[in-house]
Amino acid sequence: MKSPVRFVSVNRAEGPNAECVAFVYHAGDKPADFDDERSHMAGATFVKCEPGKLAEAVIRRFSTWGMTAPDSGGYDKCDFKVAWENGETYEGRFDMKRGGTDGDESFWTSLRRRVEFYACARRPAHFKDAHWKHFCEEAEKEGWKKQMEKMLAECEMG
């Protein structure tokens, strides 16, 4: 059984002022380590979710925000942090367009594909052979590959 998500912090960094706020979705106790490295989650609203409903709540947040996101080529930046019960964490940026997706990917699909990329398990179509080989060599050398392979094997992602 894979480690469940402990919490997801999200912050809409761009868009209508009233919607540029942070939320922390959690299933257990209110997490103390919810903020990211740049304090994007300061002043967050905490939302306690029923067990097994956290992933759905995060998708609903992006769907709601996505109603006012750019519709013609642009996107609004959203910062996020995901933490799992096993101690793993992942921080990043979700480039949200109209509908609440990054490109055509939901939050959870985007997260899984990012982790697969850094694990050298998903090669972007635009990467030429030499570029991909170099990237994977760097990922191996820097330890990203091993860390992301572990995350894929051990952590739930929506």
pLDDT in tens, 31-44: 999 998 889 999 99
pTM of the model: 0.95
- Structure confidence by residue, pLDDT tens digits, 12-64: 999 999 999 999 999 999 999 999 888 999 999 999 999 889 999 999 999 99
- Structure confidence by residue, pLDDT tens digits, 135-144: 999 999 999 9
Question: What distance separates the 2 farthest-apart alpha carbons in the chain?
Answer: 47
What's the confidence (pLDDT) of residue 158?
Answer: 84
Q: Which residues contact 29 (CB under 8 A, 6 or more apart)?
A: none
Confidence of residue 70 (pLDDT cuts 50, 70, 90): very high
Asked whether 23 and 68 are in contact (CB, 8 A), the reply is: no
Question: What is the residue extent of each domain of the chain?
Answer: 5-154
CA distance linking residue 86 with residue 5, whole number of Å: 9
CA distance linking residue 13 with residue 150, whole number of Å: 30
